[in-house]
Copies of this chain bind each other. A is one copy, B any other.
Amino acid sequence: MANNLQDAAIELEKAIRESNEYQSLKDSYDKVNADPSAKSMFDNFRNIQIQLQQKQMSGQEITQEEVDQAQKTVALVQQHELISKLMADEQKMSEVITDLNKTIMKPLEDLYGAAE
């Protein structure tokens, strides 16, 4: 990769690290990890999410019981102040990354959009 591309990517990486969204997410993540009961609740929630995603991606059917269980777990973790803050911060960070990706993909969109 050419130097000016790499430099621009590193500048963007730096801007991400310095952003309020990233700093807030880091703070929320550290707080959950420092609280054993919050951490165990959050890890359990993440594991259930990952399992359901893997089932979905491999084409396995997800039972109504599993859906109910997942919804209960979401409702439970959302009542935990530290975890709900972390999840909200993850959502905001994810929106930032989506916006950045849109900007970066614009040159290719312009190219492939032009011939239609």
Listed in ascending order, the chain A residues whose CB lies under 8 Å from chain B are 1-2, 4-22, 25-26, 29, 33, 59, 93, 96-97, 99-101, 103-108, 111-112, 115
Contacts and interface: CB of A to CB of B under 8 A. Distances in A.
Given A9-B104, A22-B111, 14 more contacts: A2-B20, A4-B18, A5-B12, A5-B100, A6-B103, A8-B8, A8-B15, A9-B12, A13-B103, A16-B104, A16-B107, A25-B111, A26-B111, A33-B115
Contacts of A15: 4-5, 7-9
A5 B29 contact: no
Contacts of A21: 2
A103 B11 CA distance: 10
Nearest to A112: B29
A104 B66 CA distance: 34
Nearest to A92: B1
Contacts of A104: 9, 12-13, 16, 97, 100, 104
Nearest to A102: B9
Contact of A115 (B4, B12, B18, B29): B29
